[in-house]
Amino acid sequence: MSIAAQLRQYLDTDFPSQERLEYLRYYKYAAVDKSYITKYFLRHYWNWAIEWFPLWMAPNLITLIGLFFMMFNVLLVYIYAPDLDGMNAPSWIYLSFAIGLWLYSTFDNVDGKQARRTGTSSPLGELFDHGCDALNTTYVAILQIVALGLGQSHLAVILFITTMIGFYLSTAEEYYTGVLYLGIVNGPTEGILLTCAAFLWSWLYGASSWHIPLDTIPSASWLTHWLPARTTGAEIFVWGTVFFFVVTHCTMVFHSMYVACQKKGLHIGQAASESILPIAVFGMAQYYWCMSPYSILLSNEHFFLFTLANGTLFGLMASSIILAHLTCARFPNLLIMISPVIMMAVLVNAPAMIGLQLISGRLELVLLWTELVAYVIIYGAWVILVIDGFCRYLGIRCLVISRTKTLDPSQQDEIINAEEQGIPVDSSQYRTF
């Protein structure tokens, strides 16, 4: 009996149900990438890179290997900079950060090409890819915090939460519109290039260079006319990320979701309460938990553990949305998922709200570890059940190509031309089930 079968028997569940899996027959993948950097530069690089991958290598295996590059760098953080400060970490780890992120981005972009060139595109590929992307959102934020030397600070908290919400909104947008839309300037392209550049800067000049006040640098003194005194490069990076998130990302996502709801006859208020409210509450709960003067997260340097615990929860949240999108299910009830984080935010702030201390620092740490272990187990079980359900229904294997099936050259050209012109790609006509 397989692990998945044993798990189903133990939990007495048929999740995901056969009724929901039937909707996979109507699966259509649609994506638009408006980035000029992608169109004129990166697509040529990806077309070159895909030739290095053998046809027997499964697309999901490529995605997973890419994620391992990032996990390796998170391990380096645990070894050399567990306080996330980065000031005393060896400079070479920042070069490793840049290489790892670049390789992740490369593998993440060629996996779809591999699926199309082998004729193995499937809904599982989209779920697997986005699930890895959701986890990588946390990993990227951790590496950014270390490379910028943010340590246990409010800027680190803001960068972590902003990065998380940005990915979440794109996922929610795809659920309502059916299209993964990447604008002219987007995180998976320009954001990754900028982050890689930041890693290389820290490799060459050290994380401490991000904390030199710009008004003390002659070549950057002209910036002081628009910035507060003693502003540092780290502050510009963090608040610049927040600015572009609010001005460019949020506005476009909210507009797209509003238009989609209007076309589908959905109540915009209900859609917002189902999708926007949970991530807003989640972000605020995390912020108030971390920034509480009664919490030990920052004062005792446990923010790294916090990011791993809540990053795992976020992976489950984002993956649940993608599963609902693929199976035409209702938007998942995420408020139940995040209730432990809300509870912790209330408990640590109880002295300020009701004048009573309801939780000690030692208990807070125990509960944080409990949260991490619990969500790793829950998410792991969720992944096993969903992948097994998809594979059994579609008649495929997750990390192995059962039978190589290459597309006709005309089909490959059709897909590539559509991608280059920013036309949504319907991969349902090329799937193998």
| Residues labelled as active-site residues | 130
From CA 159, how far away is CA 141, in angstroms rounded?
7
User: Is residue 315 within 8 Å of 321, Cβ to Cβ?
Assistant: no
Q: Could you give the CA distance from residue 419 to residue 43 in angstroms, rounded to a whole number?
A: 9
Closest by alpha carbon to 268, among 257, 252, 256, 279? 257
- In this structure, the dihedral spanned by the alpha carbons of residues 39, 45, 47 and 53, taken in order and rounded to 10 degrees, is -150
What whole-number distance in Å separates Cα of residue 98 and Cα of residue 155? 21
Q: Which residues, other chains included, contact 420 with Cβ-Cβ below 8 Å and sequence gap of 6+?
A: 39, 43
